[in-house]
Structure 1
Amino acid sequence: MPSERVDADANLPTPNFTFDPDAPCTCVTGVRPFREGSYRLDAETASGKFVVHNYGHGGAGITLSWGCAAKVKEIVQKRIAVSHDTEVAVLGAGVMGLTAATRLRELGLKVTIYSDRRPVQTTSFKAGGQWAVSVVAFEGKEEELKGIIKTAYTTFKNSIGKGFGVSEVPNFSKSVTPGLEKVMDLVPGLLPDRVSLNRLPFEGHTKPGFQYQTLLVEPPIFLPRLERDLKAAGVMFVPRKFLTKADVLTSLAEKLIVNCTGLGAKRLWSDDKMVPIQGQLAMLPAQPALKYLYGQDGYMFPRSDHVVIGATFEECSDSETLEPDVCKSLVQHMASLFGQAAPITLPHFHIHHPSNARLVNPPLPITV
């Protein structure tokens, strides 16, 4: 049961919402690789190749990455016990590809990563970074997901202070947060209980809310660290764009292939369950005094590089076109919640918040 606490009158620091949407690097667009029904984590044999699929985690890729990588390692370990293969190709240089490659190196395999994008160009690098199981479907995979969640969280928590960009932080929200509630439901005791507050401790806030304790994983630190470690271990990064499944199976010399292509799997493996979900992010200058995460009709994640405000939620859109006006509206809306701007009517886009989060089991129908 959640514990109760009467909130003190003191406020936590208020963000500086000064924002120029036309300045370089202040707006970011990413596309979440959501898969209807469930993420895909299984294996098949095709054209003499053993292919492990690890994709479709929506907005929970970083969150689940180490847990999924451990499952990939288990699948491959069983295979090589029989096949005695010594080389493996990993497709994709996002967080799923990098963490899978890291775990496969532990098996003594020669690992090569093939990708048409560098890690810093992937959607993973654009993620906000809160550790929460959000925007992912897992129909029929509840038991598997429990283990993945536990392994992922434990691995991230054990890396705090070791240069991976992971920290433990409070998250404040006006409503219960499904991504964290699902963790507490599936793996009781993994996260501290949420705390009920009689008032959120911020300027401009008078209503009740909740405090969670979770992790912040900073992609601009985490992904480059994984890349450096892999290169230091002899892993090659090969620029490569595959056009078809046949291209993958016939052009690679490796008999072991781990498919971490995210949205690319829709085309490469004809996976029509893949649904792009576009999100816009506004990037404010870093503000070291902010030591909390915040969620209310959008989210705000203060990181060491930026204060990230997001995120919009446009299903069936794979556009990576920057929309400065949308980012400006996100900032204005968030500022209004802290009493720093007048309330605004948000534009046509959907805001990613608890009432429309695509964390489903079974999955919800898609509406566009």
Structure 2
Amino acid sequence: MSAGLLPTPDFTFDPEAAGACVAGVRPFRKGAYRLDAETVSGKFVVHNYGHGGAGITLSWGCAAKVRDIVRERLTTSHDTEVAVLGAGVMGLTAATLLLDLGLDVTIYSDRRPVDTTSHKAGGEWGVSVIDSVGKKEELKQIITTAYTKFKCSVGQNFGVFERPLFTPKESENLEIVRDWLPNLLPERKKCDRLPVSGPARRGFEYQTLLIEPPVFLNRLETDLAARHVPIVLRRFASRAEVLALSQNIIVNCTGLGSMKLFNDAKMCPITGQLAMLPPQPGLKYLLGRDGYMFPRSDHVVIGGTTEQKVNSEVPNKACCKQLVRGIAKWFGLAPAEPLPDTHIHHPRNAPVVDPRLAASLEDR
């Protein structure tokens, strides 16, 4: 390794190894995520879903909004129990903050947290693959709350770490935050040469957060269990079954499940592929733009693909191999070749919050 350069990853990758290739489905909602309440058949239903690839990033902020909506409900009702649908990051964080209201909370889910899409997420804090038309001011509050909460979680065994992100071009996921909330994030730096081996290139350094979903979700689940919040494994076949629950307050964090349970035609699955390399403790930085690389304690995660209207959790091994080669080319260790599909950090057709689209996201 040359002086001043960061450690070079080991890109040895066997797509046939168990767990080496992973596919997850993002719950994207066209137009905007849903975060509101309605009364249906006498039940007070709070909807919190459709955050696409930004679920973990926005989780604490959305959970705070859910708590506030339910708190307002309690001023005119005598409810003492609440049902939370979904054991992904949205459900677990909402359940955690609802305990602040002194409610008895029960989580219903067809999957344990370890089996959810949230558990498969890469983990960089960044606003990606989300529409928010008409919700700019609300989203600003959500972003601020979420980032502040995660920042305070560093060093508290929630799997949250401060890490530099290096990218040859501006990161849309972070530039929208810098544009809307100029004082929230640390200043970015321009690099005359990105500090990685291989071809010299200019770029940027951002200070951001890395959230390790397996650690984060396990901590949330453990804390909820310690506070006597059960996770009941149950698959609902219809909205009628949901409304038949004994609880009068229901918080819907089912993501793509809302397509069927609440007839939401705006929901659109977006599948992403991840290549999981063995852990490399010496890597303490993120790479973005031509795909992404997130070194975590369990794996070095390489990903960035999007397949719109594809609802499949079957990994594409050929795609994962291409993802690895796409990052390896940064270091001069693989020939340059196009990514297998659209990717988050340099979108062609993927929905994404982008500062250049800010005018279309203004409140209307």
TM-score range for the pair, normalised by the shorter chain length: over 0.9
Listed as ranges, the matches of 1:144-223 within 5 Å are: 144-223=138-217
Alignment partners' CA distance in 1, 2:339 and 2:267: 28
The SS at the match of 2:328 is helix
The aligned residue for residue 275 of structure 1 is 268
Alignment partners' CA distance in 1, 2:52 and 2:289: 20
Alignment partners' CA distance in 2, 1:342 and 1:143: 44
The aligned residue for residue 19 of structure 1 is 13
The SS at the match of 1:322 is coil
Alignment partners' CA distance in 1, 2:337 and 2:139: 39
Residue deviations 1:131-187, cap 9 Å, x none? 001111111110011111111001011111111000111000011011101111111
Q: What is the Cα deviation at residue 345 of structure 1?
A: 4.4
Residue deviations 1:189-214, cap 9 Å, x none? 10012111111111113121000011
The aligned residue for residue 292 of structure 1 is 285
Alignment partners' CA distance in 2, 1:297 and 1:47: 49
Residue 345 to residue 167, structure 1, CA distance change in 2 (3 Å): closer
Q: What is the Cα deviation at residue 354 of structure 1?
A: 2.5
The aligned residue for residue 319 of structure 1 is 312
Alignment partners' CA distance in 1, 2:97 and 2:343: 35
1:75 and 2:31 are equivalent in the alignment: no
Q: What is the Cα deviation at residue 278 of structure 1?
A: 0.3
Alignment partners' CA distance in 2, 1:48 and 1:141: 28
> Of the candidates 97, 111, 115, which is equivalent to residue 103 of structure 1?
97
Query: Is 2:24–2:117's contact at 8 Å kept on the other side of the alignment?
Result: yes
Q: What is the Cα deviation at residue 336 of structure 1?
A: 1.6
Q: What is the Cα deviation at residue 81 of structure 1?
A: 1.6
1:342 and 2:317 are equivalent in the alignment: no
Q: What is the Cα deviation at residue 353 of structure 1?
A: 2.2
1:352 and 2:344 are equivalent in the alignment: yes
Residue deviations 1:32-77, cap 9 Å, x none? 0111111100000000000000000000000000000000000000
1:37 and 2:31 are equivalent in the alignment: yes
Query: Is 2:48–2:66's contact at 8 Å kept on the other side of the alignment?
Result: yes
Query: Is 2:54–2:127's contact at 8 Å kept on the other side of the alignment?
Result: yes
Query: Is 2:178–2:185's contact at 8 Å kept on the other side of the alignment?
Result: yes
Q: What is the Cα deviation at residue 232 of structure 1?
A: 0.6
The aligned residue for residue 301 of structure 1 is 294
Alignment partners' CA distance in 1, 2:339 and 2:301: 18
The aligned residue for residue 265 of structure 1 is 258
Residue deviations 1:6-52, cap 9 Å, x none? xx972111000000000001111000011111110000000000000
Moved over 3 A (4+): 344-347, 360-363
1:330 and 2:323 are equivalent in the alignment: yes
Please, which runs of 5 or more residues in structure 2 have no aligned partner? none
1:60 and 2:44 are equivalent in the alignment: no
Please, which runs of 5 or more residues in structure 1 have no aligned partner? 1-7, 364-368
Query: Is 1:199–1:205's contact at 8 Å kept on the other side of the alignment?
Result: no
Q: Letter of the aligned partner of 2:194 in structure 1?
A: L
Residue deviations 1:274-307, cap 9 Å, x none? 1100000000011111110001310000001100
Q: Letter of the aligned partner of 2:259 in structure 1?
A: K
Query: Is 2:172–2:345's contact at 8 Å kept on the other side of the alignment?
Result: no
Residue 16 to residue 324, structure 1, CA distance change in 2 (3 Å): same
The SS at the match of 2:73 is helix
TM-score (norm 1): 0.94
Alignment partners' CA distance in 1, 2:345 and 2:150: 24
Query: Is 1:36–1:273's contact at 8 Å kept on the other side of the alignment?
Result: yes
Q: Letter of the aligned partner of 2:93 in structure 1?
A: T
The SS at the match of 1:83 is coil
The aligned residue for residue 84 of structure 1 is 78
Q: Letter of the aligned partner of 2:136 in structure 1?
A: E
Q: Percent of aligned pairs with the same residue?
A: 62
The aligned residue for residue 45 of structure 2 is 51
Q: Letter of the aligned partner of 1:253 in structure 2?
A: S
The number of residues matched between the two structures is: 354
CA-based RMSD of the aligned residues comes to: 1.3
> Of the candidates 125, 140, 143, which is equivalent to residue 131 of structure 1?
125
The SS at the match of 1:312 is coil
The SS at the match of 2:76 is helix
Q: Letter of the aligned partner of 2:242 in structure 1?
A: V
Q: Letter of the aligned partner of 2:169 in structure 1?
A: S
The SS at the match of 2:75 is helix
Residue deviations 1:216-235, cap 9 Å, x none? 01001000100000011010
Alignment partners' CA distance in 2, 1:111 and 1:224: 18
1:94 and 2:99 are equivalent in the alignment: no
The SS at the match of 1:258 is strand
Q: What is the Cα deviation at residue 351 of structure 1?
A: 2.7
> Of the candidates 111, 118, 139, which is equivalent to residue 117 of structure 1?
111
The SS at the match of 2:129 is coil
Residue deviations 1:318-350, cap 9 Å, x none? 111111111111111211221112223444x22
Query: Is 2:144–2:184's contact at 8 Å kept on the other side of the alignment?
Result: yes
